[in-house]
Amino acid sequence: MRVAALVLIAACGLVGVNEAASQEKHVALKPGRGLNQVEGHCGACHSLDYIPMNSPFLDAAGWNAEVTKMIRAFGAPIDDASAKEIVDYLTRNYGS
């Protein structure tokens, strides 16, 4: 009985998470060279909302530090060429 109650509670919690995720709005980033890299690499792990949200605070050095952090601290599988393209895109379109 106790196990059944826990399973039911967990299932209800997961339904709420799935409903919230399905209601997330699609973020339309500015078009440009590197957008596919950003959507593919960055969007694979987190919402792209972070990009426009942080743009008032990050210049080229800041975006480079963020991409480097994602690779080194969080293990994002991004090669050097893709990282440069991502930083260039973010700096051009969302740099302060």
Which stretch of DSSP H or E encloses residue 7? helix 2-22
Give the HSE-up count for residue 5: Cα atoms under 13 Å, Cβ half-sphere.
2
**Domains, in order of start, for the chain:** 27-94 (1.10.760.10)
- Rounded mean pLDDT of the chain? 84
pLDDT digits (tens, 9 = 90+) for 79-96: 999 999 999 999 999 998
Does pTM top 0.85 for this prediction? no
